[in-house]
Amino acid sequence: MLSDFPIHSTIAVKDLGRARAFYEEKLGFKPASVAPQGVFYNCGGGTRFFVYPSATAGTNQSTYAGWAVSDIAAVMQMLESRGVSFESYDMPGFDKATRIATFGTLRAAWFKDPDGNILGIVQLPATI
């Protein structure tokens, strides 16, 4: 039943103004809808995510949201030029020099927003 409906991610933040500066200035998103309860941002393929203020922001220890990209190294370079820092992890398949994890033909990298929410980019194989 729910598979018939669109899905969107929701990202809790402590300071909506600070989060907006990050998502808009560093990541390049433009607000699609702004309200005191939060901001919607549109993404590719008709998808979107919602950033909203919450006292529990930054408590999630796993990836909050992720974007599929065609060239992970190029996207990382562009984001780094805007001041985004990528995380380093101690796990199988992770290259600390490039900060890219490789799992077969899938490649992934992670960064955090100002509240510590973990966000990711992933380069999927052409067959997915």
The number of distinct structural domains making up the chain is: 1
Q: Is residue 52 included in any domain, yes or no? A: yes
Range of the domain at 50: 2-123
Residue 90 belongs to a domain with what CATH number?
3.10.180.10
Q: Is residue 98 included in any domain, yes or no? A: yes
Cα dihedral 60, 65, 69, 74 sign: negative
Q: How large a percentage of the chain has pLDDT more than 70?
A: 98
Whole-number pLDDT of residue 66: 94
**Mean pLDDT, the chain, whole residue set:** 94
Count Cβ neighbours within 10 Å for each residue of 30-60 and write b for 16 or more, e otherwise.
Answer: eeeeeeeebbbbeeeeeebbbbbebeebbee
Tokens (6 digits) for 3: 């598979």
| pLDDT at residue 10 greater than cutoff 90 | yes
Tokens (6 digits) for 38: 């939060």
As a whole number of Å, the end-to-end CA separation of the chain is 23
Tokens (6 digits) for 33: 């809808």
Residue with tokens 């980019």: 121
pTM over 0.85, yes/no: yes
